[in-house]
Chains A and B, each alone.
Chain A
Amino acid sequence: MQLLNTLYVTLEGAWLRLDNDTLRVEVERETRLRVPLHHLSAVVCFGHVGLSAPLMHRLADEGIALVLLDDNGRYKARLEGAMSGNVLLRQAQFQRLADATFTLDTARACVAGKIKNCRQVLQRGAREAKSEQEAAALTRLADDLAASLRALPAADSLDALRGVEGEAARQYFSGLNLLVRPDQRAAFTMDGRTRRPPRDRFNALLSFLYAMWMNDCRSALEAAGLDPQAGFLHALRPGRAALALDLMEEFRPWADRLALTLINRSQLNTHDFAVREGGAVTLAPDARKTVVVAFQERKKDEISHPLLAQTLPLGLVPLVQARLMARAVRDSAAPYIPFVTK
């Protein structure tokens, strides 16, 4: 398995065109970048980026996904070639969706993956905490998450499951504040998770990172032949990629860790965020690039996958997990197992 590149174009006013077998990025008629198409698995454009029809045709032929996001990383549209999806697998997926036991079981697995990985973040924080008091607080929160995890098998409805998950998330986010470097805490305190719009800097950063992970999860599901809209944990709603949201749960703590790294290493500072009238916070355009580059670097990290007994770059894990999900969908007796790190 090879991690192919995703080309993220954050440059306002960029124009993408086909140039033989390469993709050319121009700004005001000046070539800024050339990328051979065979190195790419996806092209992701933020905001006002233009591209030529010949390039779109070629991307469709080569099975390279073209994704359009708005400035804040929210999903707008995606171009898929003729061979995308797998109608038989999707049929099985909809059958599983009607099977309450399978749905609940898979939803439980997704929540378990998230809670386990969140707990890792807090436990690591506790080990590295500067004060005993903070270490104790983080350990307590990690224990709370352990209790939530143990409560999952008994959650006998999706609502009960979402309740456990919501409570765990609340505890976890309160712990994240303690993982921010003390001198940055005033600037990056978060009061729970806010979105649409994010109302503090930490949340603005998380929203942006989640949008990118979300996009990778969605692409991975498409590549595995599944329908990203038909999910088990998240309620079905028009325009919502519920299965991509399900798959993403286990990866959220990875996004959180990267957010903490960016803040704690001062790769992002207060001037990288704009606070709008009324309190909405957005990431400044230059800072988006910093985040995208850091995200791409992180995806190259080698990770050992316990189920496959192999190491692979983090960026491929969503695809591996999407395939495991496809497997669970096809063979309803094979459970979905989220990616959990040690």
Chain B
Amino acid sequence: MVDAPDPVPLSALQHWCYCPRQCGLIHLEQAFDDNLHTLRGQAVHARTDQPGVETARGVRVERALPLWHDALGLVGKSDVVEFMPGGAPYPVEYKHGSRHKAPDIAACDDLQLAAQALCLEHMTGQPVPEGALYYASSRRRRVVAIGAELRAQVVATAQAIRQMLASGELPPPLAGEQAARRCKGCSLIDRCQPLATRAGLDAARQTLFDPDA
């Protein structure tokens, strides 16, 4: 019997968008370093003291709802899905940190939310044209339209991740301006060692057998 490929976790899309290597370290190498756990803990905590959503009349709130999409091979959980009176699902993803992230980093949150929306459509047969991100420290929602471009990006990203998992190859560290901005905030920096660049390693190799270097 041939195993079907393991479904890609929804969180992997956000990781991949932030940094393919981070995605590889987590999902290929199962590297969970301490501060990642810590961040998750904080995210969960933020959820419990977030008021408001249950009070709206007729809105049923499901927390930690299992999500999947067989055709795309996605699986995961939503922090919150609000079911409208007509039964239409509305995903809300909780993020630590502020709403005012750099646009390219916020875009990774959008991608993960869009993937949740696609899962919900697959599961319920209902259209999900919109969802929201809730940022714990600024305590604000940001509404995200699940447009054609985002949908295509979900499909392409899931594909890329599946390829990486199948090849078993860890993507290289970020470089240049992206590295400067993203590695600082990355919980896997110690494991990844982005500063020990290929160029640095090669240069060190050049002088390894020189006693005076």
A binding-site residues for B, Cβ under 8 Å: 1, 83, 86, 88-89, 91-92, 108-109, 112, 116, 119, 145-146, 149-150, 152-153, 225, 306-310, 320, 323-324, 327, 330-331, 333-335, 337-338, 340
Residues of A within 8 A of B170 (CB): 330-331
State whether the Cβ of B147 lies closer than 8 Å to any Cβ in chain A: no
Residues of B within 8 A of A324 (CB): 193, 196
Look across to chain A and name the residue whose beta carbon is closest to the beta carbon of B24: A330
Residues of B within 8 A of A333 (CB): 198
- B194-211 CB contact bits vs A (8 Å, 1 = yes)? 011010111011001111
Look across to chain B and name the residue whose beta carbon is closest to the beta carbon of A116: B211
Residues of B within 8 A of A1 (CB): 190
Residues of B within 8 A of A92 (CB): 168
A1–B188 Cα distance when bound, in Å, is 10
| A1 vs chain B, min Cβ distance (A) | 5
Which single member of A112, A308, A323, A337 contacts B191 (CB below 8 Å)? A323
- Check B209 against A337 for contact (C-beta < 8 Å): no
State whether the Cβ of B48 lies closer than 8 Å to any Cβ in chain A: no
- Check B200 against A307 for contact (C-beta < 8 Å): yes
| A338 vs chain B, min Cβ distance (A) | 8
If the complex has contacts A1-B190, A88-B28, are A335 and B196 also in contact, measured as CB distance less than 8 A?
A: no
Residues of A within 8 A of B193 (CB): 308, 320, 323-324, 327
Look across to chain A and name the residue whose beta carbon is closest to the beta carbon of B168: A88
Which single member of B30, B190, B210 contacts A83 (CB below 8 Å)? B30
Residues of A within 8 A of B195 (CB): 307-310
- Contact residue range for chain B? 20 to 34
If the complex has contacts A116-B211, A152-B209, A323-B191, are A306 and B204 also in contact, measured as CB distance less than 8 A?
A: yes
If the complex has contacts A86-B30, A88-B168, are A327 and B196 also in contact, measured as CB distance less than 8 A?
A: yes
Beyond A88-B168, A308-B193, A334-B201: 17 further Cβ-contacts under 8 Å?
A: A86-B29, A89-B29, A91-B168, A108-B209, A109-B205, A112-B208, A112-B209, A119-B211, A146-B211, A149-B210, A152-B209, A307-B195, A323-B191, A327-B193, A337-B201, A337-B204, A337-B208
If the complex has contacts A1-B190, A83-B30, are A308 and B196 also in contact, measured as CB distance less than 8 A?
A: yes
A119–B211 Cα distance when bound, in Å, is 9
User: Which residues of B20-60 have CB atoms within 8 Å of chain A's CB atoms?
Assistant: 28-30
| A81 vs chain B, min Cβ distance (A) | 13
| B195 vs chain A, min Cβ distance (A) | 5
| A273 vs chain B, min Cβ distance (A) | 35
- Check B209 against A149 for contact (C-beta < 8 Å): yes
Which single member of A89, A108, A145, A337 contacts B211 (CB below 8 Å)? A145
A324–B200 Cα distance when bound, in Å, is 12
A-B contact pairs, 15 of them (CB 8 A): A86-B29, A91-B168, A112-B208, A116-B211, A119-B211, A150-B211, A152-B209, A306-B204, A307-B195, A308-B193, A320-B193, A324-B196, A327-B193, A337-B196, A337-B204
- Check A149 against B205 for contact (C-beta < 8 Å): no
Residues of A within 8 A of B202 (CB): 335
